[in-house]
Amino acid sequence: MEMKEFYFIKRLTYVLIPIIVEHGYIYTKVIEGPRVFLVKLPPLQIIKNSMQHYGHGWEGANKAAKAALGKIDMPPVKICGKLGIYWFPSKSPYADDCIWFALDPIKDRIPITSKETKILFPFHQHVTVPLSLEQFTKRRIRTYDLKSIYEKRTEEESYFWPYMSGNDMPIVHESFQPYHATEEQIGDLDP
């Protein structure tokens, strides 16, 4: 299996699965589209590095998620809002066996037992997680809620933003016609 030293989450990243290797180190099995590979970092470190890569941090994202969703344990996090990348943990993010899931690529969930659920992704990829279907679905819905809250906030802000981008130059759009003045009126303005 391919091994990487470092990795940033992308749109096609589906899941981060912890793998305990020699001497108790935790690596991550990454499923990215049709590819599967290992990264020599634990899943939480990949989450934190990716958030920093896209311009924000772990602590702030957790506080913001709890402010948006209420006082909850194990909140989902926004990795990159512009790319629509939102993730949620299977259990405490600090647990060595916590699996992280991307919100959007999940195709289906199949209960295996009352405490296990099989998660299906595109390209015939799948992961079995030690969570009931109900628990997994609840965490996934929270993540959809967080994404929806953030998107509504930015939609409202962008609606009222007075600038429109054109040719990479901000252009002010005014709701009235440009001023027209005669030479006489312009002359009256000179001191």
* Cβ atoms of 44 and 93 closer than 8 Å: yes
pLDDT in tens, 90-105: 999 999 999 999 999 9
Average pLDDT over residues 25-50: 98
Which DSSP helix (H) or strand (E) runs through 13?
strand 13-20
User: Any idea which residue has 């993010």 for tokens?
Assistant: 93
Strands 26-32 and 126-129: unpaired
pLDDT in tens, 3-37: 999 999 999 999 999 999 999 999 999 999 999 99
Residue 85 has pLDDT above 60, yes or no: yes
Q: Of 25-29, 113-117, 120-124, 166-170, which gets the smallest average pLDDT?
A: 166-170
CA separation for the pair 51, 59 (Å, rounded): 10
When pLDDT is cut at 50, 70 and 90, the band that residue 64 belongs to is very high
pTM of the model: 0.80
- Token pair for residue 180? 């027209």
Q: Three-state DSSP class for 98?
A: coil
